[in-house]
Structure formats: C-alpha cells, structure tokens
Amino acid sequence: MEEQLNQVRQNLDVFKQKAEKTHASLADEWIPVSDDAPGIISESKLIVKKCVELVQELLNTVTNLSLAQESLEIKHNEAMVVDG
C-alpha cells in the first residue's frame, strides 16, 4: 500500500505543478495585440490552441491522479478486509 500512497503523492505534486503552469500561462499572454480582424482571428486561434493543449495536459494529470487514488483505495480496502 505504501507504493500506492507514494504514487498518489507524486500525482498530487504533478497536478499542482501543471495547475500552476496552466494558471501562469493563461494569465501571462492572452490578450490579442492586433487591431485588425485578421490579426485578432490569427492570435485567437493560437490562444485557443494553447488553451486546449494546457487543458489536455491538466486533464491527463487528473486522470493519472484518479487512477492512483483508485489503486490506493483498493489496497486500503483489501488491508481492511484482512485486518477486519
């Protein structure tokens, strides 16, 4: 069970790092600087693409965290049955 506990801790750390990266990236550079329609459209497409990439990374991290948590829960429940 210690291995599963460590995996959850590692995944929580990774999630925190990815969440902070996502927040920082979105806060830094997401105002189009162009004044004309083609420029704004182009910049908006880049912004949307980057947002999708960041959210996908974060979602993958959440999925890994969820799987690690489920594994820990299974091991914990197995230990409770043995002890109980």
Residue written as tokens 């996908």?
A: 56
Tell me the residue length of the chain: 84
Report the C-alpha gap between 4 and 68 in whole angstroms.
7
Task: Give the per-residue pLDDT at 49.
Answer: 92
pLDDT of 32 over the 80 cut: no
Task: Give the per-residue pLDDT at 43.
Answer: 87
User: Are 12 and 72 within 8 A, CB to CB?
Assistant: no
Task: Give the per-residue pLDDT at 28.
Answer: 67
Task: Give the per-residue pLDDT at 80.
Answer: 87
- Confidence bin at 29 (pLDDT 50/70/90): low
pLDDT > 70: percent of the chain: 95
